[in-house]
Amino acid sequence: MNGYHDAWVSPHRQPEAIITADTRELRKFVAPEILYGDGARFMAGPYAQRIGMRRVLAVTDPGVVAAGWVAPLLESLGEHDIEAVLFQDVRPNPIADQIMRGAETYLEHSCDGIIAIGGGSPLDCAKGVGVVATNGGHVLDYEGVDRVETPMPPLVCIPTTAGSGADVSQFAIITDPVRRLKAALISKSLVPDLALVDPEPLTTMDAGLTATTGMDALVHAIEAYVSNASWSLTDELALAAMRLVARSLPQSVEHPDDLDARGAMAQASLDAGLAFSNASLGAVHALAHALGGLLDAPHGECNALLLGPVMRRTLPELSHARTERMADALGLPPTMRAGADIASWLTEFSEAIGMTSSLADYGLTEETIWDLAAKAGADACLATNPWDATTDDLVGILHDAIA
């Protein structure tokens, strides 16, 4: 290879990564301003003041309040003459009615910005509140892609889990209790203005929550990498997240006070969030949204249980060079480069960190599989799945996952 080509090829890349006309296709990448590191959360007051906030809706949930992470945030805001209206009526898998109550509270108190602190549920709730506050109507009116016409109010996100990526993504997932599914709102208007990514709040997560949220980050990275909308920038972020999760999630589960491991997982969630926000997702999330809406099961656990079965179908669609890079990132030995081997390892990894339940444990039965597959088939995430997923395909994956 001559020097010209050498200049374009990273030592970690396979030859397919050479920049060609095919890989110079016009792309867009969206991201918020990001402040990462120990104590980042204490910058909420100064940054909110700089943005021009005077009265904010502080969106969180009772668990985050009890963990002690909300009071210092309110103090920081008060020190910068910013009034905070606390809204903590947020449950796991936030439902549309809660978002509507949050929007009413925002408007009733004439708020001019939103600060969200918590896991994916408060962050997604905050996005929904912002959409309704400036666009009116019902939050589910904006389900789908690019349905949000008017920008949200300024939004600052402080994640207290390492997995959802909601602090940097253009996604919000809202449960529709009538249809019993999770509706995806996808729009660049949903990208927060600022993400304050602080590893310290992760230390109050128990082992179970650490495992489920960490697996969510891993699934985000993998689905972004296999997505038919992936490109070099999202690939590098996705692979970086895979490396960090494979090496740091078990340590975080076993030693919750290890700030090095927590910091690595905060970085992994950040990388994976930026990757999937710009490359989107696939069949794992399409099925997980349908499953979580029907059974009200934890999103990260749904993802973990579906990851192996979906990847057994997906990874053979990738080139050998791409599966090699993925296996390297996960730290697999040279003997495990086939797609089936990687898929099996992913299931074993999930079980090793304590996720040993099955979909049957959540009440998934033969009678519900077809309905789930049909709902998943209408999910926006399937648009970037690397293979055309029919209802029969999705039924087969669910059969595999329930076994």
Question: What is the residue-averaged pLDDT of the chain?
Answer: 92
Tell me which residue has tokens 């038919």.
Answer: 228
Percent of the residues in the chain that have a pLDDT greater than 90, as a whole number: 83
Q: Give the Cα separation of 101 and 382 in Å (integer).
A: 31
pTM: 0.93
Examine residue 112 and state whether it is found in any structural domain, yes or no: yes
Residue 168 has pLDDT above 80, yes or no: yes
Examine residue 165 and state whether it is found in any structural domain, yes or no: yes
> Would you state the pLDDT for residue 23?
67
Examine residue 24 and state whether it is found in any structural domain, yes or no: no
pLDDT in tens, 305-350: 999 999 999 999 899 999 999 999 999 999 998 999 999 999 999 9
- Range 281-310 average pLDDT: 91
Residue 285 has pLDDT above 80, yes or no: yes
> Both 252 and 289 in a single domain?
yes
Q: What b-and-e string marks burial along 95-129, b requiring 16 or more CB atoms within 10 Å of the CB? A: bbebbbebbebbeeeebbbbbbbbbbbbbbbbbbb
> Would you state the pLDDT for residue 5?
30
- Domain ranges, residue 183: 33-201
Residue 20: pLDDT band (50, 70, 90) is: low
> Both 287 and 225 in a single domain?
yes
Residue 197: pLDDT band (50, 70, 90) is: very high
> Both 194 and 50 in a single domain?
yes
pLDDT in tens, 75-111: 999 999 999 999 999 998 899 999 999 999 999 999 9
Strands 181-186 and 171-176: antiparallel
> Would you state the pLDDT for residue 14?
41
Residue 181: pLDDT band (50, 70, 90) is: confident
Number of structural domains (the chain) is: 2
Residue 6: pLDDT band (50, 70, 90) is: very low
Question: Three-state SS for 217?
Answer: helix
- Range 343-358 average pLDDT: 93
Last residue of a domain, one of 174, 201, 228: 201
For the CA atoms of 298, 299, 301, 307, what is the dihedral angle to 10 degrees? Answer: 160
> Both 325 and 395 in a single domain?
yes
> Both 190 and 209 in a single domain?
no
Residue 296: pLDDT band (50, 70, 90) is: confident
* CATH number of the domain that residue 366 is part of: 1.20.1090.10
Beta bridge partners of 59: 87, 116
Examine residue 11 and state whether it is found in any structural domain, yes or no: no
User: CA–CA distance from 347 to each of 190, 332, 376 (Å)?
Assistant: 32, 13, 21
Examine residue 348 and state whether it is found in any structural domain, yes or no: yes
